[in-house]
Amino acid sequence: MPPRAPRLSASARRASIIDAGRFVFARRGYEATSVEEIAERAKVSKPVIYEHFGGKEGLYAVVVDREMDYVVRRISEAIAQGEPRERLEHGALAFLTYVKDHPDGFAILAHDAPAAGGGMLSLLSDLGERVSEVFTAAFKAGGYDARAAPIYGHALVGMVTFVGQWWTTVRKPPIEEVATHIAALAWMGLRHLPKRPTSIRNRPR
C-alpha cells in the first residue's frame, strides 16, 4: 500500500485541483481534457472534483475566471498612471510578463472556450473590447473617427497576444526588449495617424 497523502482542507484541495486543471487544460485544450487526468495530476479521485466544482465545465469556468482576473488586474495596474506612451509600454510589458510567468494560463486564454453555447471565439476578445473602450474615449477627445477606435483596440491586443504566442516558442529576446519594440510600433503608428486615413487605392499616383 502506498503511503496515503495527507488530507487537505477544502480550500487547499480546491487550490490544488485548480492548479492541476490549469496545467492539463493548457496542454490538451478543453475538449480533449479528461477529468480523470486532472484528478490523477492532483492526486485525487474523480468524485472529489465533482464535489468541488460540479464537473468539467465548472472547473474550467473557475480556472478561466481566475486567470482573466489576474491579467486584467495586472494590466490595469500597469497603465494606471504616467504619460500615454509610458502607459502603452507598461501595459505591453505587463501582458508579456504574464505570458512569460504564467504560460499555462495564457495558453488557456488564447485557446477557444468550450464550443457549446456559441460564446466568443477567444477569451481575449473580451480584453480587446476593453481596450477598444479606452480608445473610443481617446479618439473622441482627439477629434478622430470614434467609429474606427475598435479597429485599433483589437489591433493592439492582437499584436501583443500574437507576439506573445510566438515568444513562448522562441523565448528570446527578453520581454523587456519585445515590449519596447511593440510599444514603439504602436506608438509611432498612432502618433502619426492621419485624422481620417485614406486608402492609397483612392489616391492617384
Residue whose C-alpha cell is 507576439: 163
Query: Residues 182-187: contacts with CB within 8 Å, 24+ apart?
Result: 182/92, 183/85, 183/88, 183/89, 183/92, 183/93, 185/159, 186/88, 186/92, 186/156, 186/159, 187/85, 187/88, 187/89
- What x/- string results for residues 28 through 67 when contact with DNA is judged by CB under 7 A? -----xxxx------xxxxxx-xx---xxx----------
Enumerate residues 72-111 that contact a copy of itself by CB under 8 A. Answer: 85-86, 89, 107, 110-111
- What x/- string results for residues 34 through 73 when contact with a copy of itself is judged by CB under 8 A? ----------------------------------------
Question: What's the closest the beta carbon of residue 122 comes to DNA, in angstroms?
Answer: 22
Residue-wise over 80-101: b if at least 16 C-beta within 10 A, else e?
eeeeeeebbbbbbbbbbbbbbe
Count of beta carbons in the 10 Å neighbourhood of residue 35: 17
Nearer to DNA, 57 or 69 (CB): 57
CA angle 118, 23, 35 (to 5 degrees): 65
Nearer to a copy of itself, 44 or 71 (CB): 71
4 binds DNA (CB under 7 A): yes
Nearest to 42 by CA among 68, 69, 2, 5: 5
Q: How far apart are the C-alpha atoms of 22 and 104, rounded to whole Å?
A: 6
7 binds DNA (CB under 7 A): yes
Nearer to a copy of itself, 81 or 199 (CB): 199
Q: How far apart are the C-alpha atoms of 143 and 141, rounded to whole Å?
A: 6
Nearer to DNA, 5 or 121 (CB): 5
How many residues are given for the chain?
205
User: 41 touches which of DNA, a copy of itself, none (CB within 5 to 8 A by kind)?
Assistant: none
Among 5, 121, 141, 143, binds a copy of itself (CB under 8 A): 121
Binding site for a copy of itself (CB under 8 A): 27-29, 31-32, 85-86, 89, 107, 110-112, 115-116, 120-122, 124-125, 128, 147-148, 150-152, 154-163, 165-166, 168-170, 173, 176-194, 197-201
